[in-house]
Amino acid sequence: MKIRFLLFSLLIFPPFYSSDAQKVYGLNECIGIGLERNFSLLVTKNSETISNNNYTLGNAGYLPTLDLTGRYSGTLNNTTQNPADGSASTTSNGVNNTIANAGVALGWSIFSGFNVQTTYKKLNELKQLGALNTQLAAENMVADIISSYYLYIQQVQTVKNLEYAVTLSKERLRIDEERYLLGSNSKLQVLQSRVYLNADSSRLSKQTEVLKAAQIRLNELMAVEDIGASFTSKDTSIDVNPTLLYEKLLEETLIYNTDLNIASKNKTVSEYDYKIIVSRSYPYLTFSTGYNYSLNTYSTGSNKSQVTNGLNYGLTFGINIFDGFNQRRSINNSSIDVKNKELKYLEIEQGIKADLIKLYYAYSNNLKLVTLEEQNLQTATENLDIALERYRLGSLSGIDLREVQKSLLDAKESLLSIQFQTKLAEISLQLISGKIMSYYK
């Protein structure tokens, strides 16, 4: 009973590896920090902001343009005039004439074949596409954080498992040393026990490196300033949700899957591009008006200066008659692009359905394996209790005890591994069905 309680304590209760200053993270906190700080996600959010900024009436072409211009110029000439009647020529040096212009011009496209309206709708789709790209980046990052969080827990539990192995090896060495001192055991048995202890200690040391790597990876995803900082997790076990149903997941996937929604938006954008190109075949009508002011000054002549100002206006109507079949080529290419986007959507949909089936099969199979591994661990624990007692009584060899001990450690590692693999399948299913943010509460 004492050994069984020791096993339970070492495998279940969380480890304490460092000082009280160590931070304690829960899954919700890790996700929240990542959503706030992750560099890759911040870049995607900035791209979304650009898409939002582009969605304006002016960018679509609804609004008129207004330009203010001004120019000052002049000439400085030397002039020699030779009359035709043979009279004396006249020379003027340094003749300085200046011109000052200022004007305001307004232009407005009244009709351009529905190009403006279609462009505005396209910009709205691009805005929504930017939001979907941000959502996709956030979902992938959250999935990475969840996976890394439970990987950290797995590595912590593996360390605890190996710590227990070291404890068992120390106990075995103590028993063998006592027997050797009493003369009931050989030196060879003591040395062999010490070899086992050193081997278990070496595995524990290597596992602490793996644990630290998992810790650093989670810090990296959260963009923690001190990326090597140690922490502990609030959770100490890998809890798997066993209630996921394929039919519901498929229904949610076809509605909420972000990759699928992005493909749908890309298809819509390509359709708007096609309409924009077609609109070039329509006639166009533009309006322009402006006010101009001009001041001319003269160094010679009968006028010292001249001022001209006034309003101009006009309507321009036009239609492209022939452009070397470029319009036809553009329409054909755009039509092909629309078809390609439709095919791409179907390809993504098919791939997502295939991934969903494979993931759900792995998830269902792993749930069964978890139950089997839990039974194996229970059996291996009971076997070790019996083996240790028999070893104390001298009715079990050291090799046999080592095999029983190894069976227990392997059973625990196998259970941890299958629990983690099941959790990964669960996370992937929630990600593909668009429900990954349900972990963030």
- Predicted confidence (pLDDT) per residue in 24-60, tens digit: 999 999 999 999 999 999 999 999 999 999 999 999 9
CA distance to 25, 97, 140, 353, per residue, from 348 (Å): 36, 71, 17, 9
CA distance 30 to 261: 27
Strand partners, 232: 24
Note the pTM of the prediction, 2 decimals: 0.86
Task: Give one DSSP letter per residue of 336-354, joined into a string.
Answer: HHHHHHHHHHHHHHHHHHH
- Domain of 392 in residue numbering reads as 2-66+113-283+323-436
Specify burial of residue 291 (Cβ count, 10 A radius: 0-12, 13-18, 19+).
Answer: middle
% of the chain at pLDDT higher than 70? 95
Q: How many CB atoms lie within 10 A of CB 427?
A: 21
The verdict on residue 76 lying in a domain is no
Structure tokens at 23: 């931070």
CA distance 254 to 226: 41
User: Pick the residue with more confidence: 93 or 202?
Assistant: 202
Strands 305-318 and 90-111: unpaired
pLDDT at 266: 97
Specify burial of residue 315 (Cβ count, 10 A radius: 0-12, 13-18, 19+).
Answer: exposed
CA distance 135 to 436: 11
Strand partners, 79: 92
The verdict on residue 142 lying in a domain is yes
Residue 22: band (very low, low, confident or very high) from pLDDT cuts 50, 70, 90 = confident
What's the chain's average pLDDT? Answer: 89
CA distance to 6, 164, 410, per residue, from 384 (Å): 12, 12, 13
How confident is the model over 183-197, as pLDDT tens digits?
777 788 888 889 989
CA distance to 68, 125, 290, 292, 397, per residue, from 312 (Å): 14, 39, 5, 8, 110
Q: Say how many domains are in the chain.
A: 1
Residue 5: band (very low, low, confident or very high) from pLDDT cuts 50, 70, 90 = very low
Place of tokens 């006592």: 178
How confident is the model over 352-377, as pLDDT tens digits?
999 999 999 999 999 999 999 999 99
The verdict on residue 93 lying in a domain is no
Task: State residue 187 phi and psi, 5-degree precision.
Answer: -65, -35
Sign of CA dihedral 354, 360, 363, 365: negative
Task: Give one DSSP letter per residue of 123-166, joined into a string.
Answer: HHHHHHHHHHHHHHHHHHHHHHHHHHHHHHHHHHHHHHHHHHHH
Give the lowest-confidence range in 77-81, 119-123, 188-192, 331-335: 77-81
pLDDT at residue 12 above 60?
Answer: no
Structure tokens at 68: 């203010």
Task: Give one DSSP letter per residue of 276-287, joined into a string.
Answer: HHHHTTS-EEEE
pLDDT at residue 18 above 80?
Answer: no
Give the lowest-confidence range in 83-87, 95-99, 328-332, 426-430: 83-87
The verdict on residue 108 lying in a domain is no
The verdict on residue 372 lying in a domain is yes
3-class SS of residue 385: helix
Alpha helices by DSSP H, listed for 55-114, are 57-60
- For residues 171 and 74, the answer to whether their CB atoms sit within 8 Å is no
pLDDT at residue 21 above 90?
Answer: no
Q: How many CB atoms lie within 10 A of CB 383?
A: 16
Q: Which CATH number is 234's domain given?
A: 1.20.1600.10
CA distance 200 to 190: 15
The verdict on residue 230 lying in a domain is yes
The verdict on residue 317 lying in a domain is no
Place of tokens 């009359």: 83
The verdict on residue 301 lying in a domain is no
3-class SS of residue 321: coil
pLDDT at 189: 84
Give the lowest-confidence range in 8-22, 45-59, 203-217: 8-22
Which residues, 6 or more positions from 39, have their beta carbon under 8 angstroms from its beta carbon? 223
Amino acid residing at 39: F
Which residues, 6 or more positions from 43, have their beta carbon under 8 angstroms from its beta carbon? none
- For residues 250 and 77, the answer to whether their CB atoms sit within 8 Å is no
Sign of CA dihedral 270, 275, 281, 285: negative
Amino acid residing at 180: Y
Residue 11: band (very low, low, confident or very high) from pLDDT cuts 50, 70, 90 = very low
CA distance to 5, 179, 378, per residue, from 169 (Å): 17, 15, 20
Q: Which helix (H) or strand (E) holds 301?
A: none
